[in-house]
Structure 1
Amino acid sequence: MDRAQNGPEKRVDDSEFLEMTQQDPVQAEILRQSLEHLASGLGGDTLKEMAQEVLSGRMGLREAADVSAYAEQAVETAAPLAEKWASLSDRERDELAAEGERRLAEERQRLDDERRAGPEGQSGAKSRHDGRGWSLY
């Protein structure tokens, strides 16, 4: 598709990823980061195109999964990872799971820190127009 090669003209909002991750903002951010890695060409041209389509908002992630060329490439790319996982001992799998949990915790902390800092990095400072603390009474 030529559209993917021209670069994304817009960026998909987080609702697409929140829906896929049961409203977990940390997992949604990790999903976005994974797609950004694929969009850079990490998984080959086919997955690069798919990721660019999703990140631009031209195609939903579920819709992309229904495109046979994208699905076939994803399965082909994931096969060696599945084989590697199957060859690991229970202890190695547990260690990888713990590493993943640590990464999620770090990402959760980073997101919390960003939220506390505010949209412009102003820790605690309120904009005149942010609506926090506003009351009719």
Structure 2
Amino acid sequence: MDPGDRSAEETAIRETSEELGIERGLIKVIGALDILVTPFQEMIHPYVCTIAEHAILTPNPDEVEEVFYVPLHVLKQESFERHDVYLKVEPPEDFPFERIPRGKYYNWSKGTMPEYFVSYQGRTIWGLTARILHNFLEIAGGEIRDA
């Protein structure tokens, strides 16, 4: 969020407008998805939106490498591959180990983070984009259809 943004929804509209080079008025918010919290101190508030059919996309090359279309029915029938990424806590040497039980031998929790992949026409969607799409499809279930 920029300091001038009044809400996460306003941020999503501004970012979409800036990245795709379209007027904000051509973006209609349908609703919010689940907030995505990453292990890298990021909190992402994704939104489902429609863009007016007559909108002309002029992607910002500093932020967008490529724009392509994947029909919703393709995403619904394609299965997302899931590969877990393992996360491990590694405190730095100057960590105050003397203040915790078992010191340097403390049994830190380990975790995993799902990494999703889906391919379409030779392109692979992965990372945050795939996690957001996966969440969208889980929430929408069978209630989505191509426009």
Structure with higher helix content = 1
TM range (shorter): under 0.3
So what's the TM-score if we normalise by structure 1? 0.25
Structure with higher strand content = 2
